[in-house]
Structure 1
Amino acid sequence: MKKNLLIICLSLAVVMMYACSKDDFTESEPEETEQADPDPEIPEDSGDTDDDDLNPNSQSISYENAVLIAFSSNDASVTNPFENNGVTVENDNGHIVITSTVSGSELNYVLSGIIADGSVKIYGEEKFGLVLNGVGITNPNGAAINIQNKKKGTVTLVDKTNNRLIDGSTYTYTDGEDMKATFFSEGNVEIGGNGTLEIRGKNKHGLCTDGALTITGGTINIKEAASDGIHTNDEITISGGTLTIRSVGDGIESESKKVPISITGGDINIITTGEKGHAIKTKYNVEIESTGKIEITTYGAASKGIKPTGDITIRKGDITVNSAGDAIWDTDEQDTSSAAGIKCDGNFLMEDGTLTLLSAGKGGKGINADGTLIINGGTVTVTTTGDQYVYNSSYDTAAKAIKSDGNLTINGGNIKIRTSKTEAEGLESKSTLTITGGEIDIVAYDDAINATTHIQIDGGNIYCNSTTNDAIDSNGTLTVTGGVIVAAGASQPEGGFDCDNSRFTITGGTLIGIGGATSSPTAAYCTQRSLVFNSSTSNIQYIRIESTSGGQEVLTFKLPKTYSSRMTMLFSSPSLAANTGYTIYIGGSISGGTDFHGFYTGATYAKGTSAGTFTTGSATGSVSTVGTSQGGGGR
């Protein structure tokens, strides 16, 4: 019996030792923190909408140099005043072919009426106008409008009219001619006016030109595109109108390598549903300085909201991007490919505007720049709710809110970041991360702010809170010269500030870092005094530091999260005077005043319990320590 009892006791001891050992190395568990808002959700795709009966509402209009084509149920009537002067119009039961040899003047082709099996093809050598005056064309075997003229066509959507173009799922081609969309043109196209145009692209693209596209007005609804909603070989400029696109492939794609997609006005709404169906894509740059709204939702795996091969510049605009797709394994690249709100192979620059991004898929990103990333102003809100995507033991990718492979710089603006799943970081640079100003509010599951080489903070009001890791984590050096920083890391070994025991320089600013540990400032490089306060008291809610003689306040702080075991706080402020004694209080209560995530000014403090005293050194970079440290910052 004694032998059996001994075996049982030894077994229990081994189990307990294993459990303790496992706790020492397990990822930090989330601590009690500020009340978080529920994760936002992207609504499920509601699918395509059926077409109502078309009411063309054709208007009584007059155009100079006009050829009139009025469709009926199975035919068309043609009025051609240039019949003997260089313009021929062939009519095959409503399939119209216009050929113009007129030179020196622009003709206007005015279309009206509805036909269920018809089309318009245009040949010519001069610029021309195409006037849609309440027309509905369905071509079961090809494009509804096919412009083989390589000169510019100006399309007018007549005020108050409703126009509709539908192609067939299969095309009958003419040798030597392209026909890539319901509305196709070999040359540049400009669309304006105040009417409406609906397009369904059942074969490939909705609207395609081998030249450039300019949209200045009108209400354009590309309700269906088997591939891209809009596809061009040259630049795209949108300055007005209302544009709605729903596509399997890209919403808007330009293949130009020299001229950007430029958006200066108009309201744009894009939904893409296919894998790698990017909403706005170009082989060059995207420039947005818009007075209108841009709303994007991508549902497909690895789809991006805005994806240039070059740079993105946002100077003004109200932009919302929701990306719902998961990451995938890209067999061509032999790597993972994530969905993202914005992905640029070049640099990202934001000067002003409002940018709201939600990424809900596994491994999804908010902003992902291969080059540099600079925010000078505006309002940026990024939320990721997706978990980590794992392809195999060697390849995985976590969600990230804002990430750059190059330097990341924030000079101003209001930035709010929320991430909530495994290894999801907030603000990350694979090089140097610099903050000189702005209002920054980050709550991240993993590191709130992370950089590979160096973090430089020269100003701004910064709140960063990590659920399971460090609040601010530099894998290299860390320098703070100004700003107000409240950094809340997870429990030991994670901390508010972590720079892997590399140089940590403080020359200004107010720093409050809490967690289970902290990196200690490098005194020889600092010109501002600091305190490292270690406490084994659990669930501390309030901390007050005041001069022992006279009770002059230097810190009144309500912790944004509490720690069930030990807690370490790094505090640095210009208010810490030389050779001065201070007392640290914990507990008590705070009333009145104003606060920045628990950092109070002008408040009344009711004293709690003294947790220790310290006296600052005479050296400007001296670091005082109260309590026993449990080591530097975490991962």
Structure 2
Amino acid sequence: MNMKRSNQMKMLSILLLSAMLAAGCSSNAANTSNTAATTTTDAATTASANQTSDSASDAAVELASANAAEQADFDENDSLTAWSADSATTIAFSSASATVTGGGAKAVGGVVTISTAGTYVVSGMITDGQLVVDAPDDADVHIVLNGVQITNNDGAAIYVKEAGKAIVTLQEGTDNRLIDGATYADTSEDAPTAALFSKGDLTINGTGKLAVTGSANDGITSKDDLKIMSGTITVNASDDGLVGKDLVAAKDGLVTVKAGGDGVKTTNDTDADKGYVAITGGTFHIASEKDGIQAATSILIADGIFEIISGGGNTKSTKTHEEQFGGRGFPGQTQAQTETTASTDESESSSAKGLKGAANVAIAGGSFSIDAADDAIHSNANIAITGGQYRIASGDDGIHADTALAISDGTIVVTTSYEGIESANIAISGGEIHIAASDDGVNVGGGNDSSGAAGGDMFAATDGMLNISGGYLYVNADGDGLDSNGSVVMSGGTAIVNGPTTNGNGPLDYNGTFEQSGGTLVAAGSAGMAQAPSDTSKQLALMMTFPSTLEAGTLVSVTDNNGKTIATFQPAKSFSSFVFSSASLSSGEQYTIATGGSVSGGAATEGYAEGGTVSGSTKVLAFEMGEKVTYVNESGVTTAPSGFGGGGGRGMGGGGRGGMRGTPPTDMPNGGTPPADMPSGGTPSTDMPEGGQTNG
């Protein structure tokens, strides 16, 4: 078993490596003790920043599917449902007693004990009884629930005390119910803690129905592996719904869980090759007060349908996000997040995430609807998304990985979040991503479940990387649109950014460099902290600073000297800056920027279109495109803003922004005066660390 799972661990390393290579991630991810994370990081650091491979992405999807099935380790007898009346022992409960017909089991009052391997068909109803399995540790015990209701007023309804494996079959066409007591007579350390409790491997299969009420603690628990092969299973538990110490695996079935604790979880966090949740199919409806699905190590999902509400949903979030200086931010600031637990090391009791992996999360497919008070999808190491459909509402981050996040396929819609996606390193090579965030849309530099690097110079670049090599990314953010405490590399894909509207943040925000060699970038928002790609980019870009703020929905158009429309954009928020980079721009060519009017023709996508015919617009200026990044205002070509504005990066890599170290440009709103919505008119707080520096 250990050797097999060790090999499966290597498969996970390959899966994550493939996903990161497909996303072209070349950043230095933080080292972790997890084998998969280390393998991924070492290999990813050697990859070219522009390496994009459809075959690698396809391979990642296949590996995710294969790995989930391998980790689930479905055995032949996990599918055992057949039985014969001639060879099976029957157990019939009635009121306060039971009758056993056949060998291998004995009834004493309302308690039936199975002592040998074999098949046992159970029916009837008992108001205070129990089914116990106490067989040799190599015995496979097949229990067929054939229309039975077992209530135990002071313990587990079914207690597998000893066996090699217990296989519970839900007989076709039957309704079965297990109810435990609110308090247990046995309160010893090894006592059962669930209505259906097994100290060994437990498998549930069949096409019948099972309703489990966990009045005292959990609904269904295995102290080894728990596997769901099929059936309609409903669990209502005062604490956790489904628990497998070493593994929870699911192949099919309809599972509905209402839990006062976690919905589905594993607990073995000491063995690196155990503690997995591996799902290859099935439908899950989970409403949990804590985490929806939690793995002590990693979550692997190949397919399935998931509807998860954790912690009461995003509107019930108890997270607080204390923003320094009392406003949206300060030049270069990444907002400091303080949780009500006053600790970034969340205790089990404070976590209300949708999907949570203590190690990695790898998802190849499936349909996900997640409404979480905390992060919707969370990993303490890496996340690889290689397919699937996601609709996410979060009281904190939509998707968060401490070390690295790679997205190569799938459709992700984050309808509500504090920050949309966050990790120390993010690589996007494919898929379709839509983000709405009350702070940053995409944030590189979070890690450790906090929204920013702890301490240090707010302008100092980290080694984190946002790498966009493909796919479609749409951001509507109240904070920074694309935020990297390190650098940004863009070689392909489309990124459309709306917001922010206040001058303490910018549509683009990076501390190192923003190297763009391909793809289409459109960003509109406030001008006080606006940045453009770095001057060292291979692809041309323009940045327009308007003399006043324009209303949301105002059309901005870029046309060439022949009147051909290069691009149009209708921002979703009010804006005073506009950044555009595309392969359609040419050095030395004349372009015109106009506002207002309407556009017909062209394929518009969320406000952005290439081509088409613009009518009724007002010309702002005509200018000649330079050889790098061209900065313009209503007067014509100008230079990269310094001080509060930004052009090439804040740190040593860009020679632009510099925050308080520069002079505000005269073409800023308010004539260069720091934004009025900053405390003390833009003066740094006297209680800032290091004489005016803030956390970055």
Normalising to structure 2: TM-score of the pair? Answer: 0.66
CA distance in 1, matches of 2:351, 2:296: 19
Q: Does 1:457 align with 2:451?
A: no
Contact 1:142–1:167, Cα closer than 8 Å, also in 2: yes
Contact 2:299–2:357, Cα closer than 8 Å, also in 1: no
Secondary structure of residue in 1 paired with 2:569:
strand
Residue 235 (structure 1) aligns with: 247
Q: CA deviation at 1:122?
A: 3.3
Q: State how 1:298-309 maps to structure 2 within 5 Å.
A: 298-299=310-311
Residue 295 (structure 1) aligns with: 307
Secondary structure of residue in 1 paired with 2:381:
coil
Contact 2:306–2:368, Cα closer than 8 Å, also in 1: no
Q: Does 1:479 align with 2:489?
A: yes
Q: Does 1:606 align with 2:625?
A: no
Residue 521 (structure 2) aligns with: 511
Q: State how 1:110-125 maps to structure 2 within 5 Å.
A: 110-125=121-136
CA distance in 2, matches of 1:90, 1:442: 60
CA distance in 2, matches of 1:334, 1:152: 36
Match of 1:403 among 400, 404, 409: 400
Match of 2:173 among 151, 154, 160: 160
Match of 2:258 among 229, 243, 246: 246
Residue 71 (structure 1) aligns with: 93
Residue 375 (structure 1) aligns with: 385
CA distance in 2, matches of 1:165, 1:537: 68
Q: CA deviation at 1:241?
A: 2.7
Residue 425 (structure 1) aligns with: 419
CA distance in 1, matches of 2:190, 2:513: 66
Secondary structure of residue in 2 paired with 1:148:
strand
Change (3 A) 1:532 1:270: closer
Change (3 A) 1:442 1:143: closer
* Rg (Cα) greater in structure: 1
CA distance in 1, matches of 2:404, 2:311: 30
Whose helix fraction is larger, Structure 1's or Structure 2's?
2
Residue 69 (structure 2) aligns with: none
Q: State how 1:489-528 maps to structure 2 within 5 Å.
A: 489-491=499-501, 492=503, 494-500=505-511, 502-517=512-527, 518-523=530-535, 525-528=536-539
CA distance in 1, matches of 2:526, 2:183: 65
Contact 1:433–1:456, Cα closer than 8 Å, also in 2: yes
Q: CA deviation at 1:261?
A: 2.5
CA distance in 2, matches of 1:89, 1:438: 58
Secondary structure of residue in 1 paired with 2:376:
strand
Secondary structure of residue in 2 paired with 1:578:
coil
Q: Does 1:95 align with 2:89?
A: no
Q: CA deviation at 1:473?
A: 2.3
Secondary structure of residue in 1 paired with 2:318:
coil
Query: What is the aligned-residue RMSD (CA, Å)?
Result: 3.1
Unaligned runs of 5+ in 1: 1-60, 101-105, 301-320, 387-398
Q: CA deviation at 1:535?
A: 1.9
Q: CA deviation at 1:333?
A: 7.5
Q: Aligned letter for 1:297?
A: I
Residue 356 (structure 1) aligns with: 369
Q: Aligned letter for 2:440?
A: D
Aligned residues with identical type, % of pairs? 33
CA distance in 1, matches of 2:416, 2:298: 28
Q: Does 1:435 align with 2:456?
A: no
Whose strand fraction is larger, Structure 1's or Structure 2's?
1
Q: Aligned letter for 2:250?
A: I
Contact 2:398–2:419, Cα closer than 8 Å, also in 1: yes
Residue 623 (structure 1) aligns with: 630
Contact 1:494–1:515, Cα closer than 8 Å, also in 2: no
Residue 148 (structure 1) aligns with: 161
Contact 2:600–2:612, Cα closer than 8 Å, also in 1: yes
Q: Aligned letter for 1:515?
A: G
Secondary structure of residue in 1 paired with 2:354:
strand
Secondary structure of residue in 1 paired with 2:421:
strand
Secondary structure of residue in 2 paired with 1:296:
strand
Query: Could you give the per-residue CA deviations for residues 554-576 of structure 1, whole angstroms, max 9, x where no partner exists?
Result: 2333333334xxx2222223222
Q: Aligned letter for 2:101?
A: T
Q: Aligned letter for 1:70?
A: A
Query: Could you give the per-residue CA deviations for residues 210-230 of structure 1, whole angstroms, max 9, x where no partner exists?
Result: 33233323322223x333333
Q: Aligned letter for 2:605?
A: F
Residue 264 (structure 1) aligns with: 280
Change (3 A) 1:378 1:135: closer
* Deviates further, 153-162 or 327-336: 327-336
CA distance in 2, matches of 1:461, 1:231: 38
CA distance in 2, matches of 1:76, 1:605: 83
Q: CA deviation at 1:419?
A: 3.3
Q: CA deviation at 1:331?
A: 8.0
Normalising to structure 1: TM-score of the pair? Answer: 0.72
Residue 326 (structure 1) aligns with: 318
Q: CA deviation at 1:242?
A: 2.5
Q: Does 1:414 align with 2:411?
A: yes
Q: CA deviation at 1:615?
A: 1.5
Q: State how 1:26-105 maps to structure 2 within 5 Å.
A: 62-80=84-102, 82=103, 87=104, 89-92=106-109, 94-100=110-116
Q: CA deviation at 1:606?
A: 1.5
* Deviates further, 175-184 or 527-536: 175-184
Match of 2:546 among 535, 540, 557: 535
Change (3 A) 1:124 1:322: farther
* Deviates further, 333-342 or 108-117: 333-342
Change (3 A) 1:331 1:197: same
Q: Aligned letter for 1:220?
A: I
Unaligned runs of 5+ in 2: 1-82, 320-338, 446-463, 647-658, 660-695
Q: CA deviation at 1:595?
A: 1.0
CA distance in 2, matches of 1:588, 1:198: 61
Q: CA deviation at 1:340?
A: 1.9
Aligned length: 510
Q: Aligned letter for 1:449?
A: V
Residue 488 (structure 1) aligns with: 498
CA distance in 1, matches of 2:165, 2:359: 32
Contact 1:278–1:298, Cα closer than 8 Å, also in 2: yes
Q: Aligned letter for 1:326?
A: T
